[in-house]
Amino acid sequence: MEATKFTQKMVDCSLLDKGTASPFSPGDKRRGLPQWDKDRCIRCGICYLYCPDGAVYRTADGYFEADEKKCKGCGICHRECWFGVICMELEG
Ligand code: SF4
Ligand code: SF4
């Protein structure tokens, strides 16, 4: 049996687009919002790349924040940050 090529696996597993939850107002159902500690952030952009909803945006000073309307509080940015810069703050 021929092994599946890595590139084919990437196609099979990838999401088509970011931000597909936006029409459902994911922010309304959120229980936690990520908070960034800028003093420890190296501005690598990993949190921006990993957010499945395109909720992380770059600020004018080169750091990152979450758009409260798009963020669903999944915590992926918190989990993927190399330096533990992002904490999830419980809401409500
Ligand atoms: S992943 Fe962490 S260190 Fe990198 S930009 Fe985001 S908050 Fe900063
Ligand atoms: S918790 Fe982080 S990764 Fe999840 S939607 Fe919000 S900003 Fe994106």
Residue 53: CATH number of its domain: 3.30.70.20
The structural domain count of the chain equals 1
Bridge partners (DSSP) listed for residue 26: none
Which residues of the chain have a pLDDT value below 70?
A: 1-28, 92
CA 49–ligand 1 middle distance (angstroms): 10
Closest CA to 27 of 50, 58, 54: 54
The model carries a pTM of: 0.78
Query: Containing domain of residue 71, as a range?
Result: 18-90
Rounded distance, CA 66 to CA 51, Å? 9
Ligand 1 atom 3, closest CA:
41
Say yes or no: CB of residue 53 within 6 Å of ligand 2.
Answer: yes
CA 30–ligand 2 middle distance (angstroms): 10
Would 11 be classed as within a structural domain?
no
Would 58 be classed as within a structural domain?
yes
